[in-house]
Amino acid sequence: MDWQLLGLSFITVFISELGDKSQFAAIALSGTSKSPQGVFFGTASALILASFLGVIVGEGISQVLPLQAVKAIAAVGFSVMAVRLLWHHPREE
């Protein structure tokens, strides 16, 4: 096991998940539920499944495309999202 990669993956996902809409959904669900353990296990399972799918898709793509192309696609995707978040102004009605 590559412990450095494990730690880097944990830190990256942990920081990126703080304060996102899935965490707010978990807060809302646990606040209205009589079973916070059920909310915890449900949300933890969902995050594990989403991460698993991301790893599987990433591995599959890396088998087809060279690493530099995968990194470039990811960089362009994140850049587009950043620009859109910074400059996208919804129309006021």
User: CA dihedral defined by 50, 90, 83, 43, rounded to 10 degrees?
Assistant: -20
Please give the structure tokens belonging to residue 56. Answer: 């599987």
pLDDT tens per residue, range 61-73: 989 999 899 889 9
**Count of positions (residues) in the chain:** 93
Query: Is the confidence at residue 15, as pLDDT, over 90?
Result: no
- For 17-43, give one letter per residue: b (16+ CB within 10 A) or e: eeeeeeeeebeebbeeeeeeeebeeeb
Structure confidence at residue 17 as a pLDDT band (50, 70, 90): confident
Structure confidence at residue 24 as a pLDDT band (50, 70, 90): confident
pLDDT tens per residue, range 26-80: 888 988 888 999 999 999 999 999 999 999 998 899 899 998 998 899 899 999 9
Please give the structure tokens belonging to residue 16. Answer: 């990126």
Domain ranges of the chain: 3-87
